[in-house]
Amino acid sequence: MNDSLKFSTSNVQKGLENRIEAIKNVERIYNMPEKVFEEWKTESLLKSLKYTSQNSAFYKKKLEAFSGFESFDLHEFSKIPFTLRSEIKENYPFGMLAASMDDIVRYGESTGTSDKPIASYYTLGEWIENNATVALFLNEVLTKQDIVAVAVPYELAFVAQDIDRSLEMLNCTIISIGALTRICPPERMIQLFKDIKVTTLICSVTRAIYLSDVAIEMGFDPSKDFSINKVMCVGEGMSKAKEALVRKLWNAETYSMYGMTETNTLGMFCKEHNQHLVETKAHFEVIDSVTYEPLGYDTFGELIVTSLNTKGIPLIRYRTGDLVKIKSEKCSCGLTFKTFEHSGRLDDHIIIKNKKYPILQLEQIIIGLGDTNYYTLEVVEDSLKIGLCNSAEVFKKVNQQIINKFKETYNLSVTVFPVENAKVKDIIRNSLKPCIKSVLVNG
């Protein structure tokens, strides 16, 4: 019919076969008996060290002294130097690439706008494997009857694209609403939730709170007038109090997922609401970020990640900058992967009189006392000022409670003052990644 058309279904079939192979690989690994899986992890780690140091121009140079890890004893693992976020930035865009560009199907960047971006790239196999891994966990709580609104930015970063494809694998109905778009502003999102009977909302925890406010302003009661029964939080660390607030506002179950552009998914929830480390994707360590000493279970420290079987952008002992605690307690869901708690970024703290206070710990007190959805933090001359976006009546009720609780917990004298609700909400509404950092005045 048309001799110039070269598109052939054999290419499509080959592509589909590769996809099925990648999905079967995930199935194979997840069905391994525990002992076999432990051996697989060790083997994968050694294989990954070799592959990375021999194929990534960056690591070839950085880890020259390890001679390609040809005969390496894993007991020496802690002697391998860390990889810093700044090194990935310095090597923008392709300095970290360890595969042929022909094999890369996804190019993405971190969405931060403050400085040089972090680039990331995946081969078809690792992209599909990540989709299938996420699908496997989502499958624990979603069915094909679920109607899922994905309110995470689709541009550049992978998280929304990845979740989107994972949901498709499960046959859910997906509404790709994105975030901060002129096509789908918050009011239209709320109307969609109502009209299309959305059951699951995926967004950052702060956006989930903000959207409940928009719903109220539109005359709805978010705890009663919608079909949303699951809120899946991504892209932002949250205190337990904030998670509980989302549960209450939407009258829904909450789940959290964890990952970053340069690593893709690292943590997924289970039906018991715990977060499991995705041990098929990386080898995890937790260290004291000052002394670099390894930390045992149940202690918060910086999460260090070494990717397993990654071809595009493999990382070795990457300092994530995230504050994480790996738990010793086994989860009752039956999954043997370790569970963890994520407590935000290491540098998300304020300093008062040379002492660091992680913001999420302060948030636990402020939101934990109830009645407060938004707050601001400001340090002026070594003194903490907390702004509360509450009605005059509520402010009167909680302000003394907060002062007392800070005194009792941290022996800190704090000043509490009212902040205009509209001002903070406006900042959150216009933030690409709304989180408490968007409304930090300083610190």
How many residues form the binding site for Zn ion (CB under 5 A)? 6
- Cα of 434 vs its chain's centroid, Å: 13
Q: How far is the CB of 333 from Zn ion (least distance, A)?
A: 3
List, in order, residues 6 or more apart from 38 with CB less than 8 Å away: none
User: Contact between 272 and Zn ion (CB under 5 A)?
Assistant: yes
Distance CA 38, CA 49 (A): 17
Q: Which is nearer to Zn ion, 262 or 279 (CB)?
A: 279
- Find the helix packing angle between 186-195 and 205-217, rounded to 10°: 80
What is the per-residue binding string for Zn ion in 326-365, x denoting contact by CB under 5 A? Answer: -----x-x-x------------------------------
**CB nearer Zn ion, residue 167 or residue 331:** 331
At closest approach, how far in Å is the CB of 271 from Zn ion? 7
Asked whether 154 and 183 are in contact (CB, 8 A), the reply is no
Tell me, residue by residue from 225 to 264, as one string, x for binding to Zn ion by CB under 5 A and - for no binding: ----------------------------------------
Smallest distance, Å, CB 342 to Zn ion? 15
Based on CB atoms, which residue is closest to Zn ion, 64 or 272?
272
CA distance 289 to 275: 22
**Near Zn ion in 414-433, by CB under 5 A:** none
Strands (E), 195-348: 200-203, 230-233, 253-256, 258-260, 264-269, 275-277, 282-287, 301-307, 318-326, 339-345
CB of 276: closest distance to Zn ion in angstroms? Answer: 6
Q: What minimum distance in Å lies between the beta carbon of 329 and Zn ion?
A: 10
In the complex with Zn ion, the residue whose CB is nearer, 212 or 274, is 274
Cis? peptide before 93, omega within 30° of 0: yes
Nearer to Zn ion, 30 or 77 (CB): 30
Residue with tokens 């402010």: 395
The whole-angstrom separation of Cα 324 and Cα 377 is 23
Q: Degrees (nearest 5) of the Cα angle 255, 259, 265? A: 90
CB of 267 to Zn ion, least distance (A): 11
Q: How distant is the alpha carbon of residue 412 from its chain centre? A: 31
Q: Judged by CB under 5 A, which of 270, 304, 359, 424 binds Zn ion? A: 270
Closest CB 270 distance from Zn ion, rounded Å: 3
Candidates 44, 120, 131, 274; binder of Zn ion (CB under 5 A) is: 274
Q: Give the H/E segment covering residue 146.
A: none
Q: How far is the CB of 136 from Zn ion (least distance, A)?
A: 13
Looking at beta carbons only, is 293 or 329 nearer to Zn ion?
A: 329
Rounded to the nearest 10°, the torsion over CA 277, 110, 165, 126 is: -60
Nearer to Zn ion, 333 or 394 (CB): 333
Given the complex with Zn ion, which of 276 and 349 has the nearer CB atom? 276
8 Å CB contact between 254 and 233: yes
Residues at the interface with Zn ion (CB under 5 A): 270, 272, 274, 331, 333, 335
